[in-house]
Amino acid sequence: MATLYAPTKLCADESETLSELIAGVAAGDEAPFVRLYDATAGRVYGMAVRVVRDQGHAEDITQEVFAEVWNKARQFDPARGTALGWLLTLAHRRAIDRVRSEQSRRDRENQCLTMEVRRSYDDPVSDSVIAKDSGERVQANLDDLTHLQRQALQLAYYNGLTYRETAGVLGVSLSTVKQRIRGAMARLAHIVDERSFA
């Protein structure tokens, strides 16, 4: 895919030609847009790939830049710089935004993973159930759970697996395991409460 955006050398007078092409794009004409793309996509892609260091993201950014050019060509002001400079500025800004967005996404994923690990060892529902009754009493009430709840609970709490490991063993999603364990713990808490007052 990278060869699609092979760099094109621009002559000195081509700067003016690019400005004229952008003016044609601003008028809604597709032919100048195609010529502009052919003449500059390689440079735009090159700028993007240097910043994001990922061909797929760079290709996306290149397409986004030209979509922006199509929609905002009227905003180009030749008095403020060259047409190529404008295109590369758009590409650079989008590439920086993509890097920040990806970093933010990775940070969120790491934070969620850390919270999941903490929750698997610090679950307030399970803490209240276990604190309320001894392990034997809880164990005696496991038969009142559904098979799926009991299976997830035993792997996570009695075998010491994390939620993620439990999901792997059962071949289900992490959210499914969490839902089963929360349901099991809530059911056990209810059963233990009922039997305590019986």
Give the pLDDT confidence of 1-11 residue by residue, as tens digits: 333 333 344 45
Q: What is the DSSP letter of 34?
A: H
| CA atoms in the 13 A half-sphere facing the CB of 180 | 24
Per cent of the chain over pLDDT 90 is 37
Residue 119 neighbours by CB distance under 10 Å: 15
pLDDT tens digit string along 13-27?
A: 566 699 999 999 999
| Interval 93-117 mean pLDDT | 78
The SS3 assignment for 143 reads helix
| Tokens linked to 104 | 């933010």
Hey, what CATH class is 2-110 in? mainly alpha
Which of 28-37, 107-116, 154-163, 165-174 bottoms out in mean pLDDT, i.e. has the lowest? 107-116
Q: Are 86 and 65 in contact (CB under 8 A)?
A: no
Calculate Rg over the CA atoms of the chain: 29
Nearest residue to 134 via CA among 197, 178, 188:
188
Q: Are 158 and 188 in contact (CB under 8 A)?
A: no
Domain definitions of the chain by residue range: 2-110, 123-197
Does domain 123-197 match CATH 1.10.10.10? yes
Query: Is a pLDDT exceeding 60 seen at residue 194?
Result: yes
Report CA torsion sign: 141, 143, 184, 123. positive
The pTM assigned to this predicted structure is 0.50
| Interval 140-146 mean pLDDT | 76
- Which is more confident, 144 or 70? 70
The pLDDT of residue 47 is: 93
Per cent of the chain over pLDDT 70 is 72
Rounded to whole angstroms, the Cα distance separating 187 from 31 reads 67
Rounded to whole angstroms, the Cα distance separating 32 from 23 reads 8
The SS3 assignment for 87 reads helix
